[in-house]
Structure 1
Amino acid sequence: MPALVCVARIGAAHGVRGAVKLWTFTEDPFAVRRYGPLVTKDGRRQFEVAQAREAKDHLVATFTGVTTRDEAERLNGIELYVAREKLPATDEDEYYHTDLIGLAAVTTTGDALGRVVAIHNFGAGDIIEIAPPKGTTLLLPFSNAVVPEVDVAGGRIVIALPQEIEGEDRDEDSSASRPRESGDP
């Protein structure tokens, strides 16, 4: 199966004629109509966008063969994918997440860290997840400062590990560790 890229997620039913809210993850929201049939991650189901119109922060779309609210409600939460080769080429310093998954991660000194297993975005920017050969995964900001080099053709990314933030050593018996009140000497 070719590499797949998630381009949309189906939301709640909209109206009574089979329309759904559709959140797209493409630069042009209407691009989902140009890719042909969209498939589920396992490739077992495919959906063709019959119509789409812009709404506040999503599209309202209908799929070929989905004509009732009940049918539309059963689609809620399904992620839709397209084969990587159907997507446009990226600009320099732009990457599809699928292009990064599996790349070796090395430090700026060439030490192996592990492999890229995921890219996450929880709303404050992309986070790159690196799985070392053993131990817990690393979650790092996917920024130019932390990831100064991406070499997709060479199969690796370079990671500049952030310096640990040092906290104050606090002595539990010291009064210096508590704020002074107005009456304190």
Structure 2
Amino acid sequence: MSDDLVLLGIVGAPHGVRGEVRIKTFTGDPLAIGEYGPLLDERGRSFEIEDVRPAKEVVVARIKGVTSREEAEALNGVKLHVERSRLPEAEDEDEFLQADLIGCAVTDAEGGVLGEVRAVANYGAGDLLDIELTDGRSVLMPFTKAFAPRIDIAARRIEVAPPVGLFEVDDDK
């Protein structure tokens, strides 16, 4: 898949019998997913959201051409992307896409390389950086200003002040 595509949401289970689907969105405003125009999946298929409304932890959407529960079920798990060029410009320097963090070097305050960001995860309590350390181990670090005080996307570098012991080897294992 092209690096030019940014994940905006993932289609979930159907909602009702008329083809509506639940979508977990990754947009600042969940309802904004309907404002980007046609969205693409990994296979290059195009999807147009005709209507979207809020639900508890997702949005419920009607996708053009999907009119039955069976058609909606077939879309379960489809990842919806938009071309990066169609995204609005960042309003300030502290605003960036999670996708921009992947591949950034993770350094200490002196500039020593500790590892590289492999993914950004969120299991409900906030964003976590999945960092592959230089020794090959992987750790999850809370992605907060306290633990990642300086982010330089242009330089592909994140300076961290990790929680005590996070990067240390556990010799008991």
TM more than 0.5: yes
1:50 correspondence with 2:61: no
Matches within 5 A, 1:130-141: 130-141=131-142
Once the 2 structures are TM-superposed, how far is the Cα of residue 138 of structure 1 from its aligned partner? 2.3
Q: Which has the greater radius of gyration?
A: 1
SS in 2 for 1:93: coil
Matched, 1:16 2:17: yes
Partner of 1:71: 71
Q: SS of 1:99's equivalent? A: helix
Gapped regions of structure 1 (runs ≥ 5) = 166-185
- Identity value in percent: 46
TM-score, L = length of structure 2:
0.84
TM-score w.r.t. the length of structure 1 is 0.79
Shift of 1:144: 1.3
Q: Name the count of aligned residue pairs.
A: 164
Mapping of residues 1-185 of structure 1, within 5 Å: 1-40=2-41, 42-90=42-90, 91-164=92-165
| d(CA) in 2 for partners of 1:158, 1:84 | 25
Check whether the contact 1:120–1:127 (CA below 8 A) recurs between aligned residues.
yes
Give 1:105 deviation, angstroms: 1.2
> What whole-Å deviation, never above 9, does each CA across 1:116-162 have from its counterpart, x for those lacking one?
11111111111111113442112211111211110011121111233
User: How far apart, in 2, do the equivalents of 1:32 and 1:4 lie?
Assistant: 14
Counterpart amino acid of residue 83 in structure 2: A
Structure 1 CA distance for aligned equivalents of residues 120 and 55 of structure 2: 28
Aligned-CA RMSD value: 1.9
**Stretches of 4+ aligned residues off by more than 6 angstroms:** none
Question: What one-letter code is carried by the residue in structure 1 that aligns with 2:8?
Answer: V
Q: Is the 8 A contact 1:105 1:158 kept in 2?
A: yes
Please give the alpha-carbon distance, in whole angstroms, between the structure 1 residues aligned to 2:119 and 2:24: 21
